[in-house]
Structure 1
Amino acid sequence: MFKEINLRNHSSLHKLFYSLAKAANMIVKVKVDQEIDEFNMLATTSSLAVISLFDVVACILMKKKNFNKKNFLANHPSGDVGERLNKEVS
């Protein structure tokens, strides 16, 4: 059912992204002209840009789906997040 794609091959990766883009209703391109390091090699700025975009998308979807703390707790039952939510939800 699934075709193996060599992600190290730039052409295969381009074909994968092109297929996904064709099937999508919307495409959001995140472009960073310069990374923060002087050699422009560390993916710090671009990583933060992508993470920020996905955080915004997640927050919008949570609001749209009426996602509440009880739902959040189901996904994060332990650790600091789970402990905090257990106190608030109970």
Structure 2
Amino acid sequence: MLSDPKDYVRAAAIRSPRLPARVLSRLLHDRDTAYEAATNPAIPVPVLYRLLAAAAGRGSVTSREQEVDRLLGLGATLVAGLRNSDGSDWAVLADPNTHN
């Protein structure tokens, strides 16, 4: 399906969550297929973080703590945060440019 002459068939194949990871990785690095491949729900989380970091203009992925510190330094306010027993965590920040 990836070599089908119809654009919509190729696009559907690229977005398929059943696409092997090595094929998806190759498609993410190809300018002609990267846009569709980036919408594939099977992108592994570490790959997604690298894509987001690259899109944001940062060469590497920072830890959550580093990113929270960076945003706090820019004026954000920590509204809520939680660290789970499994080590995962999250933070909610208020935008310094938003007025109530």
**TM-score, normalisation: structure 2:** 0.28
Structure with the larger strand share: 2
